[in-house]
Structure 1
Amino acid sequence: MTVFAIILISVVYILISNKIFIGSTDSEFTDYLKNNHVLANDKIDGKLFDDSFYNSQVILLGEVHGYADNQKLDQELLTFLNQKAGVRYYIAEMDSTNSHKLNLFLHGNTKDQNLLKEVVLAVQKRIPQQSSKELLEKWNHMYDYNQTLQDSLKISVIGIDTDFNDNSRKISRDSAMIMNFKNSVKKLNIGHKKFYGLFGFYHVLQHGVKKNEKPFAERLKNSGFKTSSIVSYTLDSEMYLPKNPQFPTPDDQKVGWINADGPLMLVKGINDFKEFTQPNSITLFKLNANSSPYQHSNKLISVKSTMFGESFTPKENTNTLDYFQYMVLLRNSKALTPLQ
């Protein structure tokens, strides 16, 4: 057998196995999703959110870093929750030093662009794919929004990540996050308040997928904080992948290989959602309505990464809703833009 034939057989095998993993559309799920989705391109209207969602003390959005529309979605959700539920505390995947600087910006008399840029550039140390022009624009927008609010409703940021300048790991990041969150809540005497934040996908899972590790959201629930999680997936989208020594990166630092339907990332059950989304759209899906098939399924939480990133296998006797309750699907999202 020639080398070419071996390569061809290997490629065909991978394509077939990927297709089997994702699965074809299932009418039980599409019939459900038909009545439980809403377009969220420009604003969140909230009609899919139920009492359980609004009664949550902590609401989390989980993303795969690098997609521009997640910054837009984060901005829309924060604004919506501030207006609808009075949420004014944004918990962030950044350290307390930089959240303090961000608060100085948000509550300043003028837009201090140098201070904001300092924060956005600092994010490169921990989340290189998030440090971007869009991140800067989001917080500029939130500054303007804050100016329209009474002091009692103005948005403030609580950074709960580990020190950006300290890479030593005495405890896991998620352990540090819950400890820092609790300490901040106690220090500020805001245990009765509601919180919202954007984090990397893994941190918002309400059940562990790794042996002996618990995500931030699971630790929140175990600590008595009622939590709702929303996860974001993408189709036909580009990711910002900064140049790094680990992976080959195009000159423009944009890649289109990492979407929920492959080739480098595969999400079981993603095909059920395609017919309900439009090109260039953001669509919100409610997964936990009455008679939801996700109550007895592991779709969306079974994730296979074929080259880099993390694969997730749900724990035995768990279902999708044990991990998150809502999903957002981005179509044709652009990549984040490096900050010049």
Structure 2
Amino acid sequence: MKKILKRIALFVLLTPVVLLVLAFVAYGIYALLAVGGESTPHQAYLQKHKQEVNLNQPSPAFPIFDSAFYQKQIFFLGEAHGTAAPQALDFALLQHLNQRVGLRHYLAEVDYSQAYFLNEYLRTGDERHLQTVFQVWAKQNAQWGNQNFYDKLKKIRALNQTLPEARRISILGVDKLQDLNTTRLFLKAVLGRFPENGLKDSAYVTLQKVVFADTLDEDAFTAAAGQFLSRVSPASSGTKGAADLHFDLQHTLENVAYLSSKTRRDSVMYLNLVSVTKARHLEKAKLYGMWGLFHTLPVAVERGVPFAYYLQQENSPYRGKTVSIGVYTLDSENMMPAAALPAFLSKGERYVNSGLANNDGPMVFVHGIKDLRAASREHTLTLFKTDAPDSPYRTSSRLASFKVLFPNQSIAFAGEHPRLTQVFRYVCLVRNSPALTPLPHL
């Protein structure tokens, strides 16, 4: 009997250890397969088609871009938020495209109301407008609430001060509404510019009461928006200023209505871009912006529909007019909101700097990432052209998926044989970048 009890006790003690060892073995095998080995042909190609970007130069050059690149209308930089280097690259690309093709519109991952306040800052230099937007992100501990982004907007304003007015950069916001209180502040400014005789309709009166109330009643706000849209059609005639004012009002309330209809975020982005383009006569304007990597994928994926994919649909005026640059990271840190992490990792902090998000593990895996490592140096930011005539990426699926161990975060390009060249004509490898710096509560 004692022997049996000992065996049972030993089994109970050893089983968790054995299971843990098996889990580590399984994880190790998974990680090796997910990242894959090295490919000599791919590395030889990458060595021939690369450019290290020196972000310390006042105005970095980008000789790697071909003439077809500059002929596009919309330029995307896609990255996983949290690492510092892409923010610096973002400004360098914006400055370069402003100089090279006269690009003036930064297509930002912000909504229309937020863009208004960011543009007011660019126009006046009053940082209270910046704080209107950033204090919400800082309060939410969102990754956008970082000092690097805040400082980048200061650099854009400083750049604008050196440019003639016709070449100055402004922010174009097309995202789904992020904060209704910021939207209400924007509508206060809009309604405050309306002539008194233009606000006699009961729908306007109801909207005014909600917007100018001491506190925001979200249900009443949504109801007032719906009432306005169903009863009032702002005139498109008259002066340009009046037409712009009417558009600001109707477009913003349409976005309030999108919230109640639960329209998908990337779909809203597309609808907003079409609407703003038409209203602001930007049909031929060049647009550039840095977005979350998912939004910049111009192909179907297994989970969700990306913004850039909507732009490629048959009825889209932007079909064939976009180009995306994908950012991959190695040996870098990521500023992660602590709320998204287990308690033993967050330790009560707002953010945690972590290497978990690098593309060779331990949480994110990109098949073929070792080739980018072999073709680059430590502490560099390197651009690679993926679709030259001799590119092996035209016929292989390397770098064409992101496997993430967090639920619902993996990105797999749809199709039996996905190709990197269908998604990113250029990729950027960031090595040894620090994390973003959190913005203090404002």
TM-score, normalized by length of structure 1?
A: 0.94
Q: Tell me the matched-pair count.
A: 337
SS in 1 for 2:77: strand
Q: Larger C-alpha radius of gyration, 1 or 2?
A: 2
Worse-matched range after superposition: 226-235 or 297-306: 297-306
Root-mean-square deviation (CA, aligned residues, Å) is 1.9
Question: What residue identity is the alignment partner of 2:148?
Answer: E
1:81 aligned residue: 97
**Greater shift in the superposed pair: 317-326 or 74-83:** 317-326
Greater alpha carbon shift after TM alignment, 187-196 vs 277-286: 277-286
- Residue in 1 aligned with 2:295? 203
Work out whether 1:283 is the aligned partner of 2:382: yes
Find the partner of 1:242 among 332, 337, 343: 337
- The aligned residue for residue 31 of structure 1 is 44
> 1:52-111 CA deviation, whole Å, 9 max, x = no partner?
211100000111011111111111110111011111111111111110111111122xx2
Q: Pick from 132, 135, 139: which aligns with 1:121?
A: 135
1:220 and 2:320 aligned: no
Is the 2:53–2:62 Cα contact (8 Å) retained in structure 1?
A: no
Deviations 1:132-158 (A, max 9, x none): 111111000111000000111100111
Q: Quick check: 1:98–1:122 contact (8 Å CA) kept in 2?
A: no
Shift of 1:296: 1.2
Q: Distance in 2 between matches of 1:81 and 1:247?
A: 41
Residue 293 of structure 2 is aligned to residue 194 of structure 1: no
Aligned to 1:140: 154
Deviation, 1:314, is 2.3
Structure 1 residues 125 and 328 mapped into 2: Cα distance closer, same or farther (>3 Å)? farther
1:324 to 424, 435, 438: 424
State whether residues 298 and 314 of structure 1, in contact with CA within 8 Å, keep that contact through their aligned partners in structure 2.
no
Instruction: Report deviation, 1:24.
Output: 0.9
CA distance in 1, matches of 2:426, 2:269: 22
SS class of match (1:107): helix
Structure 2 residue 356 is matched with structure 1 residue 254: no
CA distance in 2 between counterparts of 1:117 and 1:232 reads 28
What is the match of residue 100 of structure 1?
116
- Residues 125 and 176 (structure 1 numbering): CA distance in 2 closer, same or farther, change over 3 Å? farther
1:15-94 mapped onto 2 (5 Å cutoff): 15-42=28-55, 44-94=60-110
Q: Percent identity?
A: 33
- 76-85 or 215-224: bigger deviation: 215-224
Distance 2:48 2:332 in 1: 25
Cα distance between partner residues in 2 of 1:60 and 1:126: 26
> Quick check: 1:170 aligned with 2:262?
yes
Residues 286, 155 of structure 1: alpha-carbon distance in 2 compared, 3 angstrom cutoff: same
**Gapped runs of 5+ residues in structure 1?**
none
- TM-score with structure 2 length normalisation? 0.73
Shift of 1:293: 1.0
Q: Which amino acid aligns with 1:229?
A: S
CA distance in 2 between counterparts of 1:168 and 1:232 reads: 34
Summarize the Cα distance change of 1:245–1:70 in structure 2 as closer, same or farther, 3 Å threshold: closer
Aligned counterparts, 1:255-270, within 5 A: 255-270=354-369
Shift of 1:9: 2.2
